């Protein structure tokens, strides 16, 4: 899935990032356009991030 993110850093500044990510079908409702999602990235390398989704039981 092609995703576009606007990420807010700890200092409240932002950066934009577009990436292609594999998304499990059960997580699709959690990554809809305009939604706020949790991500993790390395502060010294903002070129890659991981989308954090809740597991479905």
Is 0.85 topped by the overall pTM? no
- Predicted pLDDT of residue 15: 95
- Predicted pLDDT of residue 18: 96
What ranges do the domains of the chain cover? 2-52
| CB burial string 21-48: b at 16+ within 10 A, e below | eeeeeebeebeeeeeeeeeebeeeeeee
pLDDT of residue 57 exceeding 60: no
pLDDT of residue 56 exceeding 70: no
User: Tens of pLDDT along 14-53?
Assistant: 999 999 999 888 889 999 999 999 999 998 999 999 999 8
- Residue in this structure with the two tokens 């292609």, named with its chain if needed: 20
Query: Number of H helices and number of E strands within the chain?
Result: 0, 4
The pLDDT confidence band at residue 9, using thresholds 50, 70 and 90, is: very high
């Amino acid at each position: 899935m092609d995703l576009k993110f606007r990420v807010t850093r700890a200092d409240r500044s932002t950066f934009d990032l577009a990436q292609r990510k594999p998304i499990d079908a059960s997580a699709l409702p959690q990554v809809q356009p305009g939604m706020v999602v949790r991500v993790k990235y390395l502060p010294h390398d903002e070129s890659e991030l991981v989308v954090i989704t809740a597991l479905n039981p």
